[in-house]
Chain A
């Protein structure tokens, strides 16, 4: 009887695991943005035990001598799938993994790329941000993502970008820019001059509600700079690659500006954070995916930031 329970339980668990792995595998495809630049389109979901956190856009650029990975994925399995996708497309070795920022959906595939000859690149603040958050992210990985992440899954950057960095992949130069505190305090963007493509990662959200986890005012400042760039393609961290990326940038800017204006006004009127969380920006509901999940977090974050303005 006892053994029956154990068998049926483990069968069920096994079935569940296979199902989940099949789901990731089935969903994993990469698309060409431009010659030699590919991305996997994520989905507008909250990280959960079914998707194991694999929701973000991740990708890679192929040069003559080197491949650079643009975010490694949300877990080692997704990292491995990305690596397989790269190996199917090219024989050029992977030399770099660029981590766009500290959030788990972008970096927890790192472990699958860790081998000699591969260098990890991050913002100068990335190591610090990882040190501060990594224990928490790994501790709750089973509860939140249904997979066990450990400190071994955290790979600290070998190269820290303070300002900007040129990366020569062989006949193809990437310009990596370290931004001021914006989406997070460890945001990098990657410009591929060959294809005139800018990998913005979570500095731009398309369809998915933008999430503020660095500085609202800082982010608006960075967006102003970015809107001046003359480039063809922009790859966001979430959502599709659009021909007219400026429209998406403006849409994001207008949501963030609304947050700034309304939260600032409530602070001036002496209102409390609870009131702001309940009232600010409800009109924007329906315009964004995952609004109900992240809008209140944004208000909370922005309120705490703007309280110190004066």
Chain B
């Protein structure tokens, strides 16, 4: 009897340990769901979107996340918005991406800071207002890794530099994958000031707008969960030659832009 109780108490301690680090929906259920989607129904529909995330955050500062859509963007039915949330981050809202039928495909890949063991979830909102959610549990990184940029000097020297990249040659009238690289330190603000030991203000990219010949392709609202040097992959559909343009605004109101002449 006594031994079994001791074992039970041992297990209890282990359980507490597991729970504190384990798979946990409470933040989402108790807070985040109501905060972002108050009173709305969210369906679990894997036939709308999928999310890819590594099983473990190898580097807390840079966790590659990819959301892929399983439907084509048409005028009748399209994904209007995808919201990314990291439940256990100090600021769970990571980003919100707005798409149009012109996006071709509502896919988006980015790099996130994941502070601890947490669900990373993507919620798709359709043009008719329906919501669909997918999620992946990401284990925290170990060791010395911290969710900030490592070389602040290098990042500041490049501040505002931007690049477009295309993994393959651009084809007309079909969705083409593009990558946008933005150099910005995205300082989290969770930092200790040397003198006061108070928290310093954050400094990060707040808005990203990509257009093709003036038409919106991808518009994003981003927060500090986005890794330093924000990096996005998305689709666009060029009907003919034209200009792909990205405009980025940071929390200091600085505006950076980059254009690329697309010749399909």
A residues apposed to B, CB below 8 Å: 4-5, 8-9, 12-13, 16, 46-48, 103-105, 125, 127-128, 130-137, 140, 143-144, 151, 154, 156, 181, 184-185, 211, 213-215, 270-274, 277, 293-294, 296-297, 299-301, 304-305, 307-308
Q: Which stretch, B6-14, B39-47, B127-135, B248-256, touches the partner chain A?
A: B6-14
B74-119 residues at the A interface, CB under 8 angstroms: 109, 111, 115-117
Q: B223 in the interface, Cβ–Cβ < 8 Å?
A: no
Q: B221 in the interface, Cβ–Cβ < 8 Å?
A: no
Q: Which residues of A contact B190 (CB under 8 A)?
A: 135-136
Q: Which residues of A contact B115 (CB under 8 A)?
A: 136, 140
Q: Which residues of A contact B192 (CB under 8 A)?
A: 130-131, 134-135, 151, 154
Q: B209 in the interface, Cβ–Cβ < 8 Å?
A: no
Contact A133 B146, CB 8 Å, known A9-B13, A273-B111, A307-B181: yes
Taking A132-B187, A297-B145 as known contacts, 9 extra A-B pairs with beta carbons closer than 8 A to each other, sorted by chain A number, are: A12-B6, A12-B13, A134-B192, A144-B142, A181-B151, A274-B64, A297-B58, A300-B58, A308-B229
Contact A12–B10 (Cβ < 8 Å): yes
Provide a sorted-by-A list of 18 A–B residue pairs whose CB atoms are within 8 angstroms: A8-B6, A9-B9, A9-B12, A128-B152, A132-B191, A135-B190, A136-B115, A140-B116, A143-B117, A211-B143, A214-B150, A215-B150, A271-B167, A272-B233, A273-B111, A294-B143, A307-B231, A308-B161
B157–chain A nearest beta-carbon distance, Å = 10
Which of these, A13, A133, A181, A293, contacts B143 with CB under 8 Å? Answer: A293
Interface of A is mostly: helix
Q: Which residues of A contact B200 (CB under 8 A)?
A: 131
Q: Which residues of A contact B20 (CB under 8 A)?
A: 143
Determine the interface band of chain B, counting residues with CB < 8 A from chain A.
Answer: 35 or more
Inter-chain CA distance A128–B54, complex, in Å, is: 30
Q: B32 in the interface, Cβ–Cβ < 8 Å?
A: no
Inter-chain CA distance A253–B6, complex, in Å, is: 52
A-B contact count (CB 8 A): 137
Contact A185–B144 (Cβ < 8 Å): no
Q: Which residues of A contact B199 (CB under 8 A)?
A: 135
B residues apposed to A, CB below 8 Å: 5-6, 9-10, 12-13, 20-21, 52, 54, 58-59, 62, 64, 66, 109, 111, 115-117, 140-148, 150-154, 158, 161, 165-168, 179, 181, 183, 187, 190-194, 197, 199-200, 227-229, 231, 233
Residue of B9, B13, B62, B144 contacting most chain A CB atoms (<10 Å): B144
